[in-house]
Amino acid sequence: MCLALELSKTISKYILTNILLTMSSISDFNEYRQRMNEVILSGDNKVIKRFFSLDNQTYEDGALSEVTKELLGLVASMVLRCDDCIKYHLGRCYELGVTKEQIYEASSVALIVGGSIFIPHMRRAAEYWEELEKME
C-alpha cells in the first residue's frame, strides 16, 4: 500500500509541478525562453547571433526612454499577435514600473489599430499581468 500511495503522490506532485504550471507560469515561460535561446545560439549561425544582440540593443535608453521603447515593443507584439513576445514585454514593463492603467491604455491602442482579432491575446495578456502582480 505504501508503494501505491507513494506512486500516487508522485504522480499527483508531477501533475501539479510539471503539467499544470507548464504553460502559464512566469518562471517556466522564462526558463523555456532561456533554454531554447541557448540551443539556437549554440547553432552558431552568425546572422542569428548578431540579430539577437541587436534585438537587446534596440530597447536601450536613447532619444526615447527604455519604458517608452518597451511599450512600443509591447504594442508591436500585440498587433502582430505574438503571445510570447507580449509576455516578454509585459515582464519588462512590470520590472520598469509601468502601471496597470498604462498597460490597459497601450492595449486599447492595439485593440483599435488591430481590431477584435486582438481580443483573445488581450485575455492572455491580462491573465499574465495578474500573475506578474501576484508574484510579489
Within 43-72, which residues bind a copy of itself (CB under 8 A)?
43, 45-48, 50-51, 54-55, 57-59, 62-64, 68-69, 71-72
Q: Which residues have CB under 8 Å from 110's CB, separation 6+?
A: 75, 78, 79, 118, 122
Residue from 17, 28, 30, 113 touching a copy of itself (CB under 8 A): that is: 113
> Does 119 interact with a copy of itself (rule: CB under 8 A)?
yes
> Does 134 interact with a copy of itself (rule: CB under 8 A)?
no
Helix, strand, coil content of the chain in percent (nearest 5): 85, 0, 15
Gap between the Cα atoms of 91 and 85, Å rounded: 10
Residue from 95, 112, 133, 135 touching a copy of itself (CB under 8 A): that is: 112
